[in-house]
Amino acid sequence: MPSPDQTSNTVDFETARKQLLAASQAAKHSKRPLTLADLYRQLNLRLQTSLEIDRLLEMFFTDIQGVLPFAALLYRHEETDLQLTLGSPAAAHTASYRLHYEAEELGEIILQDTQRIDDHRLNQLEALLGCLLFPLRNALTYRRAVQASLRDQLTGAGNRSAMNQALAREIELARRHGHPLSLIMLDLDHFKDLNDSHGHRGGDEALQRVVSRLKRQLRNVDMLFRYGGEEFLVLLSNTDAKDAALVGERLRAAVDQHPFEIDGQPVHLSISLGSATYRAPETLEQLLQRADAALYRAKRSGRNQLSIAL
């Protein structure tokens, strides 16, 4: 199979804007229709109507199809943990751009197509990408603000407000479509003893280190929330009981089998976990109660283990 044809660039938005204006004026003087310029103006108006990044990119991808069709658009922004895919990905030819304005990173956008992307199409694409500059920048600012309001300041995990929103949404999706949904409740073992030995600063450091380690074991679609104190909840969408148990054991081992240092001193940390999988038509409260009861059994049975809800 031939290797994909791939183009990677950095967008200079000011140059792209000047190129488009020059092309528009040339077309005007030659009486040719200003198709590309009309699209540019349309995008400039439409992309001012939303602060949701997925909506912005959907409008951009949809609007350019009539003049500059592509099979798929992929976007990622690592800082805000955002990945979006539109269209039909895995096409053979790609054009990749890292978007930025001055020192601000605006993410990476990848356009894919089944046909070769020649220089003419690239020039048109780069001109139109200029329309995304300020709308995308504003949307990222808004996304950061929303994320900050839904994040636990100490650990970086989601807070209770974010957890309640996500649980309500995922329960509704599980009921409507019959998708599996699992929860894992966990907490740090003997956390009071650690606080007594190392103080609250040491306890805070332990929570931060454990959360960092847990996140490395989870998929992008999995969600980790601070339930309260040293207790956390992992939301596993589209995950059945068997797979949830595998995730739980992976989380337990990640904490138990690797050394920690608190204030320069070696400390052994472990977690106890309780896993529950949604059973229609139970309520969210019932699901949480089963996960909590499983966590209690794990702690009562000796800690540093996973218990499956009955």
* Confidence band, pLDDT 50/70/90 cuts, at residue 1: very low
- Greater model confidence, 160 or 5: 160
CATH code at 232?
Answer: 3.30.70.270
Q: Which of 108, 130, 147 is the last residue of a domain?
A: 147
- Tell me: do 213 and 111 sit in the same domain: no
What does the mean pLDDT of the chain come to?
Answer: 89
Q: What is the DSSP letter of 80?
A: G
- Tell me: do 304 and 170 sit in the same domain: yes
What was the pLDDT predicted at 103?
A: 85
- Tell me: do 172 and 300 sit in the same domain: yes
Closest among 167, 105, 158, 112 to 136, alpha carbons compared: 105
Alpha-carbon distance of 96 to 112, in angstroms, equals: 9
Q: Is 230 a catalytic residue?
A: yes
From the candidates 230, 231, 282, 285, which is the catalytic residue?
230
Residue 109 structural domain: 5-147
Asked if the bond preceding 89 is cis, omega within 30° of 0, the reply is no
Q: Does 29 have pLDDT greater than 70?
A: no
Q: Does 52 have pLDDT greater than 90?
A: yes
Q: Does 205 have pLDDT greater than 50?
A: yes
- Tell me: do 82 and 164 sit in the same domain: no
CATH code at 55?
Answer: 3.30.450.40
Q: Does 215 have pLDDT greater than 50?
A: yes
Residue with tokens 């100490």: 154
Which residues are CB-contacts of 257 (< 8 A; sequence separation ≥ 6)?
Answer: none
Q: Which of 117, 147, 177 is the last residue of a domain?
A: 147
- Tell me: do 163 and 141 sit in the same domain: no
**pLDDT digits over 61-89, tens only?**
999 998 899 999 999 998 888 889 999 98
- Tell me: do 44 and 161 sit in the same domain: no
Structurally, the chain folds into a number of domains equal to 2
